[in-house]
């Protein structure tokens, strides 16, 4: 039977990709093209929604458009619950990754067709379900390339994280230029092409994955299938009914509120199930408990960070001077600042963690530092917002803000991916990775409700959220020793 993770000896011997397993190359380029499509579309989605119809957009109310962009991110990461379950129990991580890519490509094609808001909703639904299959499971496959005690794991995830940002850097430049020069649908079309290239590359390099996450870790017993599939169908019908009721009671805003509530309730239920499950071993339960404060910290981090495509995009569109020597560059290009900084700084952080080895800050302290930094980035935007009261401000405000955010991201995101694969109970491997992405979902779910207050007072909005993140980061730093004790055996 194919195994889902290598032995320590096999893992150590495989150094075909810059000292890392050759399979990392396959996953690196697959993730690059998937993120190219994701961030390329996301960079122009908000602009497409709130831009006037006469200028090629849909003319949606700006406050509602901000909520739609935020709740789209919520739904994307929330769908990872289903994707992780299907990988753990039905398909395995490798097949789930491929099927997800196919759905994502279909979603971008729907957005590329000029059929108005119908194309937006249809496309986003496809992308939500597709990303739910691909995103948590491709990270699980990365983790399966390394033995649990392989010291290259954190560095490997940082290298993998660079793929996200190479795709994220290039795509807004292309989709933004196409949206300005030809039209928004041309930008969405090139995102579909990017995902197609990712699928081709994945199929060609799959042989190098050495069976990592090739089979379900907790497959359904034949006697379980009828009951489980009936439960899935019942849950799907119940969610659909709730969605219809929410729409009838509150239109689109009612659906957004429903998704926001689900984004908070789901992780609570998930932690409860894992802690109470007999399949979670006694020695694994303290690790799950240790994961809870890390999850809360990550949710707060992403609540702020993911607003770069909504609130920050709107600030750039309305209050930032985007002229260079008299030439007006696309507003979507601001979305490439963070990825290019990741590309520049990720090798530095990877080198620092390898150099420090046992002297490196613990995972909880890295998370605490990330929270403080992302909070300070919004505190900086408080001053930028005050300056914008006198007219459009220099792009340097956003450059410095993204620099601070990026440093925080590198202290949390690749480290969090690695910590998740180490802390996950064996029976919930892919599902715990889905839980990691639920932190983003919970953060953006709350943000979908908060962004409505941005248009009322931008400066107060930035200061309140930024200050809250700094305070939470300080509290996590104080609690770090106790959390690390619960993580015993993996750090």
CATH number (domain holding residue 368): 1.20.1250.20
Contact (CB, 8 A) for 168 and 39: yes
Both tokens of 319, joined, read: 């209050």
| Model pLDDT for residues 174-194, shown as the tens digit of each residue | 999 999 889 999 999 999 998
Burial of 54 by CB count in 10 Å (0-12 exposed, 13-18 middle, 19+ buried)? Answer: exposed
Arithmetic mean of pLDDT over the chain: 86
- Expressed as residue numbers, the domain containing 423 is 281-490
Last residue of a domain, one of 171, 194, 219: 219
Say yes or no: 163 and 298 in one domain: no
Q: What pTM was estimated for this model as a whole? A: 0.81
Task: Answer whether residue 402 is part of any domain.
Answer: yes
Say yes or no: 211 and 295 in one domain: no
Helix H or strand E encompassing 327: strand 327-328
pLDDT above 50 (res 92): yes
Last residue of a domain, one of 199, 219, 239: 219
Both tokens of 58, joined, read: 């849909």
Both tokens of 60, joined, read: 């949606």
Following DSSP, what letter does each residue of 250-315 receive, concatenated? HHHHHHHHHHHHHHHHHHHHHHHHHHH-TTS-TTTHHHHHHHHHHHHHHHHHHHHHGGGGTHHHHH
Say yes or no: 111 and 192 in one domain: yes
Provide the domain count of the chain: 2
Give pLDDT, residue 471. Answer: 96
Task: Answer whether residue 122 is part of any domain.
Answer: yes
Contact (CB, 8 A) for 156 and 34: no
Task: Answer whether residue 251 is part of any domain.
Answer: no
Say yes or no: 28 and 168 in one domain: yes
Least confident of 1-10, 208-217, 474-483: 1-10
Say yes or no: 447 and 300 in one domain: yes
Task: Answer whether residue 235 is part of any domain.
Answer: no
| Model pLDDT for residues 119-154, shown as the tens digit of each residue | 998 999 999 999 888 887 888 888 888 876 777 777
> Of 237, 242, 236, 238, nearest to 259 (Cα)?
242
CA 72 to chain centre: 11
Tokens 């309140």 label which residue? 464
| Model pLDDT for residues 52-82, shown as the tens digit of each residue | 888 888 898 888 888 988 988 898 888 877 8
C-alpha dihedral (99, 101, 104, 109), degrees to nearest 10: -100
């Amino acid at each position: 039977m194919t195994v889902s993770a290598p032995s320590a000896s096999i893992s150590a011997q495989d150094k075909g990709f810059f000292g890392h397993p050759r399979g990392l190359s396959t996953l690196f380029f697959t993730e690059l093209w998937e993120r190219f499509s994701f961030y390329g579309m996301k960079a122009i989605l908000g602009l497409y929604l709130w831009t006037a119809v006469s200028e090629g957009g849909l003319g949606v109310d700006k406050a509602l458009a901000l909520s739609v962009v935020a709740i789209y991110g919520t739904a994307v990461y929330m769908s990872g619950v289903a994707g992780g379950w299907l990988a753990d129990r039905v398909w395995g991580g490798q097949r789930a990754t491929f099927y997800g890519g196919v759905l994502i490509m279909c979603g971008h094609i729907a957005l590329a067709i000029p059929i108005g808001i119908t194309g937006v909703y249809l496309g986003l639904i496809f992308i939500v379900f597709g990303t739910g299959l691909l995103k948590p499971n491709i990270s699980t496959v990365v983790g399966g390339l390394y033995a649990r005690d392989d010291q290259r794991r954190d560095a490997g995830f940082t290298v993998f994280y660079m793929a996200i940002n190479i795709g994220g850097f290039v795509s807004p430049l292309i989709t933004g230029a196409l949206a300005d020069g030809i039209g928004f649908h041309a930008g969405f079309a090139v995102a579909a092409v990017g995902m197609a290239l990712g699928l081709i590359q994945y199929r060609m390099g799959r042989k190098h994955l050495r069976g990592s996450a090739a089979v379900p870790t907790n497959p359904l017993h034949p006697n379980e299938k009828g009951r489980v599939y009936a439960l899935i169908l019942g849950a799907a019908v119940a969610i659909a009914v709730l969605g219809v009721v929410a729409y009838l009671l509150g239109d689109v805003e009612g659906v957004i509120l429903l998704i926001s509530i689900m984004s908070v309730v789901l992780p609570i239920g998930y932690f409860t199930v894992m802690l109470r499950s007999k399949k979670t071993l006694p020695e694994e339960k303290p690790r799950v408990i240790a994961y809870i404060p890390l999850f809360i910290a990550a949710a707060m981090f992403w609540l702020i960070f993911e607003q770069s495509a909504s609130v920050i995009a709107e600030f750039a569109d309305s209050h930032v001077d985007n002229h260079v020597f008299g030439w007006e560059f696309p507003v979507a290009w601001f979305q490439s600042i963070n990825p290019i900084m990741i590309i520049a700084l990720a090798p530095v952080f990877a080198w620092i963690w390898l150099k420090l080895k046992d002297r490196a800050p613990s995972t909880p302290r890295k998370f605490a530092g990330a929270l403080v930094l992302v909070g300070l980035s919004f505190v900086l935007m408080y001053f930028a917002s005050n300056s914008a009261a006198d007219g459009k401000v220099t792009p340097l405000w956003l450059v410095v803000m993204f620099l601070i955010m990026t440093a925080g991201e590198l202290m949390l995101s690749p480290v969090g991916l690695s910590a998740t694969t180490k802390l996950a109970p064996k029976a919930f491997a892919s599902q715990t990775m889905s839980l990691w992405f639920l932190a983003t979902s919970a953060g953006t779910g709350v943000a979908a409700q908060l962004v409505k207050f941005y248009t009322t007072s931008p400066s107060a909005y930035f200061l309140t959220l930024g200050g809250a993140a700094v305070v939470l980061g300080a509290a996590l730093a104080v609690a770090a020793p106790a959390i690390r004790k619960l993580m015993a055996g993996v750090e």
